[in-house]
Amino acid sequence: MNTVITKSIPPGDFEEISIELPDWEAHFLKLVQEGKPIKYRRCNMPMIPRNIRAELSRRSYCNHILENDKEQHFLVPKSQ
């Protein structure tokens, strides 16, 4: 998965994911498999599980990190 530092939020309607949500790992994987744009804060998602990282790479997601708020991440599928 490629990572890009960006000055602004990428376009799209992002689903937010956090380890604080019930069944978060299954929900996260489902969003990736559906090709949805996803956002998360690094403090709420310190490490993405290996199986989800593999799926993100397989589906050519790009990780956009805000330059002025490095905690905020946006996972954008290739099609966007």
Kind of pairing between the strands at 38-41 and 15-16: parallel
Lowest mean pLDDT across 19-23, 34-38, 43-47, 50-54: 43-47
Q: The pTM is what?
A: 0.91
pLDDT digit string (tens) for 45-64?
888 999 999 999 999 999 99
pLDDT at 65: 96
At residue 11, φ and ψ (nearest 5 deg) are: -65, 150
Instruction: Determine the average pLDDT of the residues in 21-47.
Output: 93
Task: Write down the pLDDT at residue 48.
Answer: 93
Write the DSSP string, 3-40.
EEEESSPPSS-PEE--TTSTTHHHHHHHHHHTT--EEE
Alpha carbon distance 35, 54 (integer Å): 14
Q: In the block, which residue shows the tokens 């530092």?
A: 5
Residue 59, classified by CB atoms within 10 Å of its CB into exposed (0-12), middle (13-18) or buried (19+), is: middle
Assess whether pLDDT exceeds 60 at residue 80: no
Mean pLDDT, all residues of the chain: 93
